[in-house]
Amino acid sequence: MHDLDHNPAAFARLGAEAQIYLRPSGFVDGPLMDPDACRRLAGGAVWFSAVHVIARTQAGRCASCLVPVPGISAFLEALPDPSACARSTSGDT
C-alpha cells in the first residue's frame, strides 16, 4: 500500500472496479479543543480524528491515505466518478 497524500484523483489509477473502504483512525478521548476535529464511533464513547481511506482492486492492487475528519467530506466528493474512471482506463474518449 502507498500513501496518496490526500489526492482523490490518484485513486482513479486503480480503475473503476476499485472498492473504497473507510476505516476510523486516530482515536482520541473526545473533542477537547475543536468539536469538528473528531467524530464519535457508532455514537459511543470512542472518538476518532482521521479516516484511513483504502482502495483495493480484485487484482490485489491497493492504495491508501489518511484523511483528517474535517476534510473527509471534501475528499469523498472529489473522488472520480467510477464511469469516468472506466472510460479513462479503457482508452475510450
Convert the pLDDT of each residue in 51-81 to its tens digit. 998 888 888 878 888 999 999 888 888 776 6
Do the domain assignments include residue 93? no
Give the total number of structural domains in the chain: 1
* pLDDT on residue 89: 42
* pLDDT on residue 82: 57
Do the domain assignments include residue 59? yes
Q: Is 65 exposed, middle or buried (0-12, 13-18, 19+ CB in 10 A)?
A: buried
pLDDT grade for 3, boundaries at 50, 70 and 90: very low
**Owning domain of residue 82:** 8-87
Do the domain assignments include residue 34? yes
CB proximity list for 91: less than 8 A, separation 6 or greater: none
Do the domain assignments include residue 26? yes
pLDDT grade for 90, boundaries at 50, 70 and 90: very low
Do the domain assignments include residue 23? yes
Percentage above 70 pLDDT, the chain: 74
Do the domain assignments include residue 92? no
Average pLDDT, the chain: 77
Q: What would the pLDDT profile of 15-28 be if each residue is shown by its tens digit? A: 777 888 899 999 99
Beta bridge partners of 63: 55
Do the domain assignments include residue 68? yes
DSSP helix/strand/coil, 27: strand
Do the domain assignments include residue 3? no
